Structure 1
Amino acid sequence: MLIYLCLSSHGYGHAARQAAIFSELYRLRPDWQYVVSSVVDYEFLNLAFNGIPIIHRRIKWDIGTVQDNALTVDIEKTLYELNNFYLKLPEILIEESDWIKSQNNNPLIIGDIPPSASRLASLLTAPLIWMGNFGWDNIYSSYDNRFSEYISNISDDYSKGNILIRFPFSMNMNWKIKEHKVGLVVSQKKILPNKFLANLESIKKKFILISLGGMGFKLSKETFSKWRDFHFLINRENDINDCSDIENVSLLPRSLCLIDVMPYCYRVITKPGFSTFCEAISCNLGIHVVERKYFSEAQFLIEGLKKYGSFRLLSEESFYNGNWQLDKELRNEHNSIIKSDGALSSAEAVISYIEEI
């Protein structure tokens, strides 16, 4: 069996959660062939899918939204890129379906969550499993009527899947197909390198993790001087304008993911993001969440955070000004418990589906 993942190229979150699921799939079915198809940063894909014998295909299956940074969306550029994408898609589908056929292995298509995966599955007469907490029809429906035709076509694509594995914090995704609900999708933590761990242990301050995902952000080093009693862990060099001389900031080694350091942290500052929320909640880590405009998934993520986690809400202005409320008590409104078994449950659902067909 060839498991072919059409992976959204919009940020890192889709890749992070699929890596957790593929890790479980590979553990349970090491005899299968695994393909990850995306233009997400190759270094991140190698880190996330480390230990899994992946075949990489560098194909862009969706546009998502065009963003200059992690918090804003450029509606005009998104519309322009969507038009260009669908002009090129027929040729991409033909070339990639030919490559898949050349592998001489029965394919199963997984889409997270590019609607074009439906067209690839149709060309191959292959089964299709969706995984996600939103569809691009949900996101574009909050934009103006120039997106109407795209929304209609995308919804039609989603309705052709065989099953939806519905993640937590989900939007309506009313595609009229069979569904399987799962818990938080979380990767296994790696052991910290000895040198980095020793460095953390030598710092007698509470650690604050800052990450706004693959789109990045820019902070001035002056913002950190407001919080000298804390030490900040950041995973991207370009997220600060020169961090080399900031005494209370450390960069994460490139071999580590966010979840690897979360058990050592006091709180995390982040945008509304599925994978970071799942990982932080599973680690009982307080979340300071920065508002995110023009991306309707954010409201559903925050509703889920209120249900399952502890948090503070920050405006975009407060984030960039360094008014991070680290001296404030967390809001704790949750009265529900959610399991962190979404990766295993998703993998088992895939295997069960294949065994049934």
Structure 2
Amino acid sequence: MTSLINHSRPVLYLAATGHGFGHAVRISTVAAAIQKLNPEILLIFATTAPRWLLESYIPGDFIYRPRAFDVGVIQSDSFQMDKPATLEKMQEIYKKRNALIAGEINFIKTNKVNLILADIPPLMAPIAKLAGIPCWMMSNFGWDFIYEAWGEEFDDIVNWIKDCYQQCDRLFRLPMAEPMNAFNSIIDVGLTGGTPHYSSEELRTKFKIIAAQDKTILLTFGGLGLDQIPYQNLARFSDWQFITFDRQAPDLPNIIKISEPLLRPVDFMPICSKVISKPGFSTFSETMRLDVPIVSLTRDDFAEAHLLLEGIENYADHQIIDTETFYQGNWEFLNKSPHPPKIGKILRKDGAEMIAQAVVDFFEDCRKNLSSDL
């Protein structure tokens, strides 16, 4: 294998679960912070998340390596999960693990990777260990936590995942987290998220958003979206404006459909009075960093969801609505004021910067050690 890079540069390998967009988004915010602190660090991104998504968060160059080392959850949309297909795919990855490990170790050594940062494919820890480099991870949950709730047929996969995570050198635990007891070294950090690229005036002018902020609503349901969103309810709010990234949304006078790939939900959050979403860490985190109220659907069959919903109840202005109210109701909840946080808006907002600084410090220590050895 031929090296892709100039070996004089420090090299960071980033791996993200391709499940939805959330994992790729939050590790991309760390990558952007790393580039800002030290643009000499070369980034290699291993994920099945689309390159355009990474580019919408990372301003500088990076190497894109489309690889899958886990599957997350196989879903048809943000709610509909296929547990048998997920189990089958994870069992396939387990059977092929030695070949996957060997192939990636070859790539890592050839390209002189110094450090792996992952969110949060379990296999990256044994890959790093066998390659002789550290593996750091970042997340608010591990996949063992998700699969463990799905029954004993997942037990073997859960135990394997825990064994992988135990080989991780450091975990940056994000807010709204499960204990993540499989990890031996844990550092708690703040919220991660992108910063809006445009001013409110620029967006209002470009997209002809004339409704007042209290009647401007962002609808965002993650990378997988939702089937059968009841857009007919929007006719009841004819003097409001609704912003969506759903290209299948109907052409209604008060719907603004965003299709430009470099525009992100976080860019529109500051001009909205509420963000309507499903439970998702990256959406919640970006919304909370900007102090925009969250209206979230409930979700009963994904273990992370109760952590996130408890998080917004404690730390954000929020409304929580059940799926029947969302799909069958008349959306009267839009006229209600959000509930204040039970504890307060006290979560730190510098998680991406904290992780990025640790990465930059690691490479600086490597440089000093190399200089002292010469």
Same fold (TM over 0.5): yes
The question of whether the paired residues in 2 share the 8 Å contact of 1:190 and 1:260 is answered with yes
Q: Spell out, residue by residue over 1:228-279, the C-alpha distance to the aligned partner (whole angstroms, 9 max, x if none).
A: 23211001303x3xx22x1110012332111111110010100111111111
- Separation in structure 2 between the aligned mates of residue 299 and residue 202 of structure 1, nearest angstrom: 34
Matched letter for residue 116 of structure 2: I
1:20–1:197 Cα change, 3 Å: same
The residue aligned with 1:72 is: 80
Give yes or no for contact 2:32–2:57 (8 Å, CA) kept in 1: no
Kept in 1: contact 2:189–2:350 (CA 8 A): yes
Residues 1:249 and 2:259 aligned together:
no
- 1:341 paired residue among 319, 337, 350: 350
CA–CA separation in structure 2 for the residues paired with 1:202 and 1:4? 40
Counterpart code for 1:24: A
- Aligned equivalent of 2:119: 112
Query: Which one of 256, 270, 275 corresponds to residue 277 of structure 2?
Result: 270
1:290 aligns with 2:300: no
Give the structure 1 partner of residue 70 of structure 2.
62
- Range with bigger deviation, 134-143 or 73-82: 73-82
1:149 corresponds to: 156
Number of aligned positions between the proteins: 351
**Residue 94 to residue 17, structure 1, CA distance change in 2 (3 Å):** same
- Please state if 1:237 is matched with 2:247: yes
Residue-by-residue CA offset, 1:326-351 (whole Å, 9 max, x unaligned): 01121113323122111111111223
Cα 1:349–1:195 change in 2 (3 A) is closer
Q: Deviations over 1:196-232 (max 9, x none)?
A: 4315565224211011101111324313223323211
Output the CA distance in 2 between the equivalents of 1:15 and 1:310. 26
Conserved 8 A contact 2:149-2:303: yes
CA contact (8 A) 1:111 1:130 kept: yes
SS of alignment partner, residue 296 of structure 2: strand
| 2:225 corresponds to 1:216 | yes
- What is the CA deviation profile of residues 279-338 of structure 1, one whole-angstrom value per residue up to 9, with x for unaligned ones? 111211111101123210111111111111011111122222354310112111332312
C-alpha deviation, 1:140, in angstroms: 0.8
Q: 1:199 to 1:119 in 2, by over 3 A?
A: same
CA RMSD of aligned residues (A): 1.9
Distance 1:122 1:93 in 2: 10
* Contact 2:46-2:67 at 8 Å conserved across structures: yes
Cα distance in 1, alignment partners of residues 365 and 209 from structure 2: 54
State the partner residue of 2:372: none
Deviates more, 1:282-291 or 1:38-47: 38-47
162, 165, 178: which one aligns with 1:171: 178
2:170 is the alignment partner of 1:160: no
TM-score by length of 2: 0.89
Partner residue, 1:20: 29
Partner of 1:3: 12
Is the 1:113–1:132 Cα contact (8 Å) retained in structure 2? yes
Q: Deviations over 1:107-163 (max 9, x none)?
A: 211110010111211221110101110000011111110011111110111011111
DSSP-derived class of the 1:326 partner: helix
Structure 1: gaps of 5 or more residues: none
Distance of aligned partners of 1:193 and 1:327 in 2 relative to their CA distance in 1, 3 Å threshold? closer
AA in 2 matched with 1:60 = A
Checking the alignment, whether the CA contact within 8 Å between 1:15 and 1:48 is kept in structure 2 is no
Is the Cα contact below 8 Å between 1:24 and 1:344 reproduced in 2?
yes
Aligned to 1:132: 139
Q: How far does residue 354 in structure 1 lie from its aligned partner after superposition? A: 4.5
Question: Counterpart of 1:180 in 2: which secondary structure?
Answer: strand
| Structure 2 CA distance for aligned equivalents of residues 180 and 290 of structure 1 | 30
SS of aligned partner of 2:75:
coil
Q: CA deviation at 1:56?
A: 0.5
> 1:25-67 CA deviation, whole Å, 9 max, x = no partner?
1111211111110111232222232x12110001012111111
2:52–2:262 CA contact under 8 A, matched in 1? no
Greater alpha carbon shift after TM alignment, 223-232 vs 186-195: 186-195
> Structure 2: how far apart are the matches of 1:314 and 1:55?
41
Match of 1:46 in 2: 55
Letter in 2 for 1:31: E
